[in-house]
Amino acid sequence: MESVLNMAEEQFQIPIHYRVEIGEEFPEQRENPNTPRWEALVEIPDEVQRTVKAKNLSLQWHAMELARTAIGKLTLINDPQFTPHARLAEKVHFDAVHRTYSAVDFTFPDFITEDNCRIWFLRKPHSEMY
């Protein structure tokens, strides 16, 4: 029994990352690759993973909600016509995202939540940021 608890503890040792896409169309239905959308990298630290799992919630859904909140704080300023309703989140390795989005400065996140989840914007609507 104790080894099972230790194994469960070990799986939350490091932060996990989700690349979240929020747009006006679902990715699989997008006909135009330039359709306005946000892409964000969400880092969920160990303590938050524990809290989310204890509430029987999905880490993927939590990442989407965190990104939506961060984006919501900027959309009124940057693009008031942007109406997001489609979301996608995939678990990723930080190093792979860092290589793919080499123009993004990962030194400081664009947004930090109250529980220390960090969010970097990888792409904003009407931008060429990669």
Q: What is the pLDDT of residues 24-46, one digit of tens each?
A: 766 566 666 666 778 999 999 99
The number of folded domains in the chain is: 1
Query: Is residue 50, in this structure, part of any structural domain at all?
Result: yes
Query: Is residue 2, in this structure, part of any structural domain at all?
Result: no
Query: How would residue 129 be classed by pLDDT, with cut points 50, 70 and 90?
Result: very low
**Neighbouring-strand partners of residue 86:** 23
Mean pLDDT, rounded, for 64-68: 90
- pTM > 0.95: yes or no: no
**Does 119 or 129 have the greater pLDDT score?**
119
Query: Is residue 5, in this structure, part of any structural domain at all?
Result: no
What is the rounded distance in angstroms from the CA atom of residue 34 to the CA atom of residue 103? 19
- Is residue 34 within 8 Å of residue 109, measured between CB atoms? no
- Is residue 18 within 8 Å of residue 92, measured between CB atoms? yes
Residue 74's SS3 state is helix
Query: Is residue 1, in this structure, part of any structural domain at all?
Result: no
At residue 51, does pLDDT exceed 90? yes
Query: Is residue 76, in this structure, part of any structural domain at all?
Result: yes
